[in-house]
Structure 1
Amino acid sequence: MKRGAVFESEEPQKRRRQPQISCDSCRKKKLKCDRGDPCSSCVIRGLVCAGQPAPEQKALRSSPVAPVTPAPGAAIDDSILGRLRRLERAVFGSAAPAGASSDQTLAALGQEMDDRHSPPSEPRRAVVDNERQQTAKYLDSTFTRHGTCATTSHDRVGYRIATVNQFPKTPSSATPGLTPTDDTNAALSAWLMTRDEAFKLLDDFMNNPFHLLPVIHGPSMKSTIDAFYASLDQGIDPNPAHAALILAIAATSAFFYSGYSDVAQIFASVDEATQTSMTWFRSAVGILEQSQPSNPACLEEVQARAILAYLVYNFQGCSARFRFLHTCSIAAAREISLHLIDSPSAEHQPDEATREMKRRLWWHIVATDWMLGLMGGPIDGTYNIHPSHFVVNHPRNINDSEPELSSPSLSHPPTTATVLTCFLQRIHLAEISRAIIDARTGSPDLEPTNPERVARLDSLFAAAFSSFPPFLHPTGAIPPEAPPHFSLQRDVVLLGYHSRRARLHRPFLLHTSPTTANQSSRATCLSSARVVLSIATRLLQSSNAAREPAQTYVARAISRRMGCVIGHMFMACTILALNAGSAGGEDTHAEVADACRALASAGEESVVAARLVRHLVGVLRRYRVEGVDDVEAVPTAPEVSHDAGRQRKADEFDVDLSGMVDEPDFGLDGLWEGILGDNSMAYGWDQVFAGLDTYCGPT
């Protein structure tokens, strides 16, 4: 009886101890669990799946004839493979490529995607975060991104719309751009062009891409302009960033205005266009500075800051203002997560055309940052953006047509000239510049002088030149299908490449040691300097010839962009002058003298060129370079009247034209006077190069 009683009492207890077959979440929510690891219910809800039995226990309980449910992870992998197969069929056709099976192609493509998007030593991050992670991210963004400042009446901008020829011309009337007033709490006021003029200036900006700024999507920008003026018509406060972007584009078009472009009816003269450009520049900067604390960052703000930084570089050089605007561009880009465009966990993915523009904008900022670290000055040997701190693919080599922008798999080979060809080469040059910076040891301001290390770094330039298609070489023929102003874009890129290659080998010019390595570096430095001199002289001569009645927009754009060209040309002249002053350097006398004449002729329009050529001639005379005695008188005459008139206009509008007129930021007068009075040639040339680096800039 006792045994029977025990048996009867133990049966129910065994039933209650039946092993758990559902996960904890499904048991708690009373949901049907497919017993996967993780189960599909938890995957859909983004929850952590836990509580399933061990794999060996599930194997013991499973029936031999029961259907096997694939794990959700496998289903996801199958889905990805299926999408890759469809992509392969769309690109290569239905047949697999010769010599490789479909599985091999997919495996290689999948491996490439994994290598690009995730570190090889870490597991692949899940695309869908769990519920707690999403909540934590939301709380982080609430605290760090979304501002709590309310917009006050003084934060709002007063927009005044009129045709450009109706803008007030004197400070006694309502001043264009920033309204000067003693009341620091007064609201900001800005003069803008009419809607039709805004469209014309945008078309001029888009149709003349000599500026290497392919960061604006034309149709989207036209919609932005329409929405901005519609808001003003309805009495609604528009987004200040939209106003700043419109002003930045207009200021750039006005600065490069020639009198022969599509906007010829907007400006009465080139001088009026230049002054209006400065006015719009100041207005755009003021709008961004005053509205930034109370308005969240947006794509238009980043675009405006990048364009304004580019503009101030062209008329002021690598000044402190340029470096500040560039730093603001980096901060604004990170605010809208431009550095995570191609991250698997990126939220709110836009359409493909917008993503491509974001990639271009980010890489423009990155390339500028890396090249600035190899130009001397206060930030020499440093950069702000580390390559491991962003996940952004390179832009595609395409033209700005809607079909090409909207096709994510389309990218032309490097042998096809597109509007992005020179832009991509600028990115490659920036990557080489970063490698040179990283090779510095001990201190950021110590240039590499180890011959073996310099030779390895120089191989990066050699590899880049060998990979150039024929049309990227200085004398290469431009394809007929190339975009407008491709020749000018190519010359600007080549100036950047050869200037930095000469700078890499420049320390060996000051060494008299006859070692083979030193002589090789000296030869490379002089060769690159001669290429820079040849390209810059040709540009200046074509610009000077274009002052005749048959001038074109391209040549006028070059003359307005002389800050970049002259900076690199001046550096090349100093290198060749040093060689002319050494033994066996008499052959360089004629080419340096010709370059000085080109600079002197350019000085008729460029104050910077006029000042630099006088200092350069003084140094050339010191080293007895023949043929420069007749150069100095050329640029002196126009400096008094022409500059005085421009300075009066600058004073009227409170516009800082120091980089174009007085150039106090560079201090070249004192620099050269110190060199001429110093008997130590090596020390003097070190100071010369330091001053030139501060001017040459990132392009």
Structure 2
Amino acid sequence: MQPLASTSAAGSEQFDTPSPIDVAPAPSSKGKKKERDDEDDGDDGVKPPVKKRNRKPVTCAQCRRRKLKCDRGYPCGACRDRGEGHMCDWGDAIRLPQPHLTRDAEAQELRLQLDRLEGLLGALSGHPIAAAVGLAGPPGAAAGGPSAGMAEENAAEALGLLAANSSTTAAGPSSMSSAAHRAQVLANNPTVSHLVALLPPKKELETLVNRFLNNEHLYFPIVHVPTFQARLAAFNASNATEAPLFLGLIFAMLAHEMGCQATEPGATKKAVLEKENAGKRFCEAALEALRMGSYLEQPTFDAVRALLVIHRFSEQNMDARSTHFLSQAVQLGQMIGLNRDTAGVPGISVIEVEERRRVWHMLLAADWLDCSGRPSAIATSQFDVKPFTDAYDADITPNGITARPFPAFTPTLLLGVQGHLAAIAHNISETAFAVKGALPLTCKFIDDQNAALAGVKASLPALQFGGDAVIPLDQANFASDRFRVQAHSAALQLTIRLNRPFLARGFADPRFAKYRHACLSAAQELLGLFLGYDDAHPVSRFAFLTYHCLNALLILAVDFFNDPHGLYAEKNRRLIGQALLRLQGREMAPVLAEVLRIVAVLMKVVQSQPQRPAAAPPTSSAPLAASTKLVHPLPSPLTNDPFASNRLDALAASSSVPDLAKIWTTLATSFKTMYGTPDFEEWRELVKVGAGAKEVWSAGVGLIAA
């Protein structure tokens, strides 16, 4: 094998020296050049095509695009310094080795990478040393068989010659099929060493993880930062096999960070796709690391935290598995005793006690605030964990905790708000939507919960409106702005969840009009939050803002469809138009495309029916007494109805407007966390409105218990 220096020099001469075949010799004089041009023109005056160079680039795609000097490494130094080593793409370019000096701190990491690559190459050739460390294929595998092919692809990917998730085309594989392929590769090579090979270099790894901590820790305190950073500094490829669950947590953080970078303002479509694919790769690697660590049989604190991060990442991407990850995290948390307070338990430090309290309350908030229709996995009688302490991580030491006075912006400030909202959400679920409620459901209960939610909102930093949109804070106060937007959004979502069953019924029966007003006001405020932050603002990058906007858009569109000339119609129309204008310029994710389609259908029906029949008059217009008993449980959205598809199919078969009757089918079956959809009884009556029926809710709205 040639030394690197001589290989580089030879390569440079080969590709940097012009070829005499590609480049014509320079003309000797102007006269000869003109004469030659005249001869080439001929009689028709058409010049022959000019030959172009056919040289392949020798720099990575990112350096070519940015016009930077590339050191031809993988990843190259320029991409690594920007923290984008995972995006260093060579494509059809030729990567020539170039000798350069490395710092002593990087020498060991480079040696480890070289060892992994040599092991993978040895696996391809059946080298006995590679087989001894578990990198070769299964015993008895035939040369050139399926496992050999998997090993070839795995080695090629580690060498940077293949992408784990190739760019999709109209007929190409989707990211989900690439994830399935990744699972197949790892299933044929079930070792932690293959997962470690997918990690970025140590320096880049630490940069990405620290960026995740800097951006998310104030709102998602999943670890005690000083303790975690010490563990990360000691982590390397050699000891990764001893802690696969910690490796899973690292992969989960990388996936979350890639997902956040994919939403950064100003990113190109190609960069967004690359980062989204990188996030999916890291997510699948995190799940594989958990499986290799037997997380269900031998759960650890790291496994619970990894599942929480994966749940958060999946929720932001509208992945149907997000609720499954949450359920597993809750189950594992109870298995390792997170639901029991560990103060004073021997062998558990003050830092770990506080970490466990934080993570348990995060599990509790996520479980009780979940709106996918999944039954809550935590009962109030199942835990005795004390409240966490309002403190910065630097205030939490092995010797004790120094609490900060309210309202210090500690990592637990948002978690405290979520805890208050979670308690209200749990009360609403158990009383209003549980199949068998412990207490009777009355109008007083609805009023009390609305008052509690209004109290939580009043305790938050106020939102100032300019017209229909919220006025953002200065970007210097970005952290505070994100906190208030996230906290207000959670409170408004819960207000909608409580009052959503009364939306169409409140129009048909004025006795429920105040609950309809509460639902519409919350939806209009959510749209105001979305419209207040243009696409260039840092707050607009967060998925929860668009998620709540889509739900609010559905609510206003349904109300406008039901009442196109009423008290709320003009503002509803205006907000819908402004939101559609913003959303139509975005990349069409499946849920976004589906919501826009539904809104377009509803608005088209309204335009085709300038005159609408009046709603059926209620039996009585007198206000309902606080003690009035309501039906139990209240109707749930179609997305929480396990029989929604069957019911919508039957409705379409019996309706004169079957296409209108079935517009919710895809949303109801594929996006379970959407909370703005109507319930089936409500939509059945609204289909009558769309069909031009003169009698709607003829039997009453059906919410008052007999």
**What's the CA shift string for 1:652-673, capped at 9, x where partnerless?**
xxxxxxxxxxxxx999999799
Are the structure 2 counterparts of residues 358 and 626 from structure 1 closer, same or farther at C-alpha, using a change threshold of 3 Å? Answer: farther
Given the alignment, which residue of 525, 541, 544 partners 1:531? Answer: 525
Q: Which residue of 1 aligns with 2:425?
A: 433
* Residue segments in structure 2 that go unaligned for 5+ positions in a row: 1-132, 138-150, 167-177, 611-641, 677-706
Quote how far apart the aligned CAs of 1:461 are.
0.9
Given the alignment, which residue of 401, 404, 407 partners 1:411? Answer: 404
- 3-state DSSP of counterpart to 2:356: helix
Q: Which residue of 2 aligns with 1:656?
A: none
Q: Which residue of 1 aligns with 2:674?
A: 696
The one of the two structures with greater contact order (alpha-carbon pairs below 8 A, sep at least 6) is 1
Q: Which residue of 1 aligns with 2:628?
A: none
Question: For residues 188 and 357 of structure 2, what CA distance do their matches in structure 1 show?
Answer: 39
Question: For residues 224 and 185 of structure 2, what CA distance do their matches in structure 1 show?
Answer: 37
Quote how far apart the aligned CAs of 1:676 are.
12
Q: Which residue of 2 aligns with 1:355?
A: 353
Question: For residues 157 and 188 of structure 2, what CA distance do their matches in structure 1 show?
Answer: 28
Contact residue 506 and residue 522 of structure 1 kept, 8 A: yes
Q: Which residue of 2 aligns with 1:278?
A: 280
Given the alignment, which residue of 165, 168, 182 partners 2:162? Answer: 168
Quote how far apart the aligned CAs of 1:568 are.
3.1
Q: Which range moves more in the overlay, 188-197 or 206-215?
A: 206-215
Question: For residues 425 and 547 of structure 2, what CA distance do their matches in structure 1 show?
Answer: 18
Given the alignment, which residue of 492, 495, 513 partners 1:519? Answer: 513
Contact residue 591 and residue 667 of structure 2 kept, 8 A: no
**What's the CA shift string for 1:15-57, capped at 9, x where partnerless?**
xxxxxxxxxxxxxxxxxxxxxxxxxxxxxxxxxxxxxxxxxxx
Contact residue 370 and residue 383 of structure 1 kept, 8 A: yes
Question: For residues 386 and 611 of structure 1, what CA distance do their matches in structure 2 show?
Answer: 35
Contact residue 358 and residue 388 of structure 2 kept, 8 A: yes
Contact residue 644 and residue 668 of structure 2 kept, 8 A: no
- 3-state DSSP of counterpart to 2:357: helix
Quote how far apart the aligned CAs of 1:181 are.
4.6
Question: For residues 407 and 478 of structure 1, what CA distance do their matches in structure 2 show?
Answer: 36
Contact residue 161 and residue 192 of structure 1 kept, 8 A: no
TM-score of the aligned structures, taking structure 2 as reference length = 0.57
Are the structure 2 counterparts of residues 392 and 277 from structure 1 closer, same or farther at C-alpha, using a change threshold of 3 Å? Answer: same
Contact residue 502 and residue 528 of structure 1 kept, 8 A: yes
The one-letter code of the counterpart of 2:259 is: F
Q: Which residue of 2 aligns with 1:589?
A: 573
Are the structure 2 counterparts of residues 364 and 459 from structure 1 closer, same or farther at C-alpha, using a change threshold of 3 Å? Answer: same
Contact residue 448 and residue 454 of structure 1 kept, 8 A: no
**What's the CA shift string for 1:549-584, capped at 9, x where partnerless?**
xxx6554x33x5566344433344345434543644
**What's the CA shift string for 1:319-364, capped at 9, x where partnerless?**
2x112111110122123211113566x4433123x32222221111
- 3-state DSSP of counterpart to 1:438: helix
Q: Which residue of 1 aligns with 2:333?
A: 333
Question: For residues 523 and 206 of structure 2, what CA distance do their matches in structure 1 show?
Answer: 42
Q: After the TM superposition, which residues 168-187 of structure 1 pair with which residues of structure 2 at under 5 Å, given as runs?
A: 168-169=162-163, 178=182, 180-181=184-185, 186-187=190-191
Are the structure 2 counterparts of residues 258 and 676 from structure 1 closer, same or farther at C-alpha, using a change threshold of 3 Å? Answer: farther
Are the structure 2 counterparts of residues 179 and 327 from structure 1 closer, same or farther at C-alpha, using a change threshold of 3 Å? Answer: closer
Confirm whether residue 202 of structure 1 aligns to residue 195 of structure 2: no
The one-letter code of the counterpart of 2:318 is: Q
Confirm whether residue 213 of structure 1 aligns to residue 215 of structure 2: no
The one-letter code of the counterpart of 1:233 is: S
Q: Which residue of 2 aligns with 1:288?
A: 290
Question: For residues 187 and 472 of structure 2, what CA distance do their matches in structure 1 show?
Answer: 59
Quote how far apart the aligned CAs of 1:617 are.
1.0
Given the alignment, which residue of 196, 199, 202 partners 1:192? Answer: 199
Quote how far apart the aligned CAs of 1:288 are.
1.0
Question: For residues 467 and 298 of structure 1, what CA distance do their matches in structure 2 show?
Answer: 37
Q: Which residue of 1 aligns with 2:143?
A: none
Quote how far apart the aligned CAs of 1:192 are.
1.2
Q: Which residue of 2 aligns with 1:368?
A: 366
Contact residue 244 and residue 284 of structure 1 kept, 8 A: yes
Confirm whether residue 242 of structure 1 aligns to residue 246 of structure 2: yes
Question: For residues 464 and 217 of structure 2, what CA distance do their matches in structure 1 show?
Answer: 15
Q: Which residue of 2 aligns with 1:313?
A: 315
Q: Which residue of 2 aligns with 1:322?
A: 322
Question: For residues 159 and 531 of structure 2, what CA distance do their matches in structure 1 show?
Answer: 37
- 3-state DSSP of counterpart to 1:610: helix
**What's the CA shift string for 1:212-240, capped at 9, x where partnerless?**
322122222222223330xx337x73211
Confirm whether residue 570 of structure 1 aligns to residue 553 of structure 2: yes
Given the alignment, which residue of 369, 379, 387 partners 1:386? Answer: 379
Q: Percent identity, aligned pairs only?
A: 16
The one-letter code of the counterpart of 2:674 is: C
Question: For residues 192 and 290 of structure 1, what CA distance do their matches in structure 2 show?
Answer: 16
Are the structure 2 counterparts of residues 684 and 180 from structure 1 closer, same or farther at C-alpha, using a change threshold of 3 Å? Answer: closer
Are the structure 2 counterparts of residues 691 and 578 from structure 1 closer, same or farther at C-alpha, using a change threshold of 3 Å? Answer: farther
Q: Which residue of 2 aligns with 1:399?
A: 392
Are the structure 2 counterparts of residues 674 and 513 from structure 1 closer, same or farther at C-alpha, using a change threshold of 3 Å? Answer: closer
Given the alignment, which residue of 584, 595, 599 partners 2:583? Answer: 599
Quote how far apart the aligned CAs of 1:257 are.
0.9
Question: For residues 488 and 282 of structure 1, what CA distance do their matches in structure 2 show?
Answer: 29
